[in-house]
Amino acid sequence: MALSRKATICSLFLVSIVAYLCKIQIASLFWTGFYQRAIENTNDARRKGRLYSFLGEWDKRVEIDEENGFMEGAFDFTYAHSAHAQDGKHMIPVDELLDFLDGIDALSNSGKPQKAMSYMAKYDPASDIEKTTKERYMKVLAHQTELMDTQEAYIQLAVGQVEKMSFADDVDPLIYTRYSTFILLLQLCNVIYLWIRQREQKMRRFVFTLVFIFSMGMYCAYLTTTRLTRFLAASTLTSFGETLMFTPTEAAHRSSSHLERARQIFLKYPHDYDDLVTHQVLGLMTHILWKQLKRCNYPRPDESNDIQYCKSAYAVAQTIANMLDADQSAEDSPEKKFWHQEIRMAIEENVDHGEPESFLGWSTWILMGDSTDGGAALDSEYIRNRMDDWLDDILQDELDDKKQKLSQLEGDEYSFAAVENEL
């Protein structure tokens, strides 16, 4: 039954109110810069802290919390009603509890799990749900502390290499456009149109609705990942698209804003818990290795010497080998196996110039979490041996080219001198 005109107007009015109240959150789904604008237009320290959390600028959130004592005084409430009490304990307002947990997340993401644990220790849960929440947070923070202790050398090796590099100019890792949201909005508009105007197209409505639900599920999963993971995924998709649209040389030397954002985010927050668990630092190094190897193997014709990219790829590979030796994590996670396989494929395709593993085998390994040899740990000596031989060949070729050019110049000078004597 169609809605009456009055009911339709009321529904639109309610939707408009919700949209107005959540205007910053909604607008920021399309462009994260709206968070920054909201921060600039408010003087409320607590609101600024929440907006910094939404933006993902954890250091700023921690700074505001410390300056205003928000974390220390998180549970200093004056309760006016006994309704806030349960079993002799005061129930914390939900919004205050969520804000406190956001502060804990900010401390964790900025690499300060021990301070976060000290604040969590002061939190006295009043319900079973809160007790479970506290236990989960304490377990995660303890695990993060352990990972930071065991992986510090591993992380710092990557930091030392990554901070020397750049892949795009004038890139802000926090302010960017979310193009995937525009695609979802178009899909939603299409589904609504089909259900309202194309009632006879049942199969078409069903198919497009399923596609929208699937896209929405993928988008929600995407939003739950860290920004480093998102930027690396976007870099993969962009690189794949560039190989279809440009020549190999053009694609290899195009700037990569997504890879640059990933680089900057890693340098700013190298101890994010989810990134530590999933070895995203190894993923970042793998992406950089692919990029530098492509730049080396497809030199630009307008450049007299692109050997710098070959040396850079060699340095990145050596750093990866050192990282594998320094890796002290006990977990043999699927993500780490995946990055090991990617490193091996990069070397096989760009250094050994052999045929990489077939796409069928590679995709099966991704879906099933294993393959015939992809699940094996990558040997650092394999990387060093392949890269040493590869760079020696490149340097020898470079030396031979220089000798040939020098001999040509000497021959030209001899010919000129002979002609001059005859004249």
For 57-83, the pLDDT digits (tens) are 999 999 999 999 888 877 765 443 334
**pLDDT of 194 higher than 70:** yes
132 pLDDT band (50/70/90 cuts)?
very high
Beta-bridge mates of residue 86 = 89
Query: Taking the CB of residue 356, how many other CB atoms lie within 10 A of it?
Result: 15
pLDDT of residue 159: 97
Of these ranges, 64-78, 127-141, 323-337, the one predicted with the greatest mean pLDDT is: 127-141
Residues 249-269 have a mean pLDDT of 94
Strands 89-90 and 85-86, sheet pairing: antiparallel
- What are the tens digits of pLDDT across the range 201-229? 788 888 899 999 999 998 888 888 999 99
CA dihedral 181, 185, 190, 194 (to 10 degrees): 120
Residue 113, pLDDT score? 96
Residue 412: pLDDT over 80: no
User: Is this model's pTM higher than 0.85 or not?
Assistant: no
Domains in the chain, ordered, with CATH?
A: 33-73+91-150 (1.25.40)
Burial class (CB in 10 A: 0-12, 13-18, 19+), 298: middle
Residue 383's nearest CA partner among 320, 307, 339, 304 is 320
* Dist. CA 267–CA 166, nearest whole Å: 12
CA distance 135 to 80: 29
Mean pLDDT of the chain: 83
Give residue 358's pLDDT. Answer: 39
pLDDT at 368: 36
Residue, of 130 and 155, whose pLDDT is higher: 155
Least confident range of 40-44, 193-197, 389-393, 417-421 = 417-421
Residue 378 or 151, more confident: 151
Res. 297: pLDDT tops 50: yes
Distance CA 26, CA 21 (A): 10
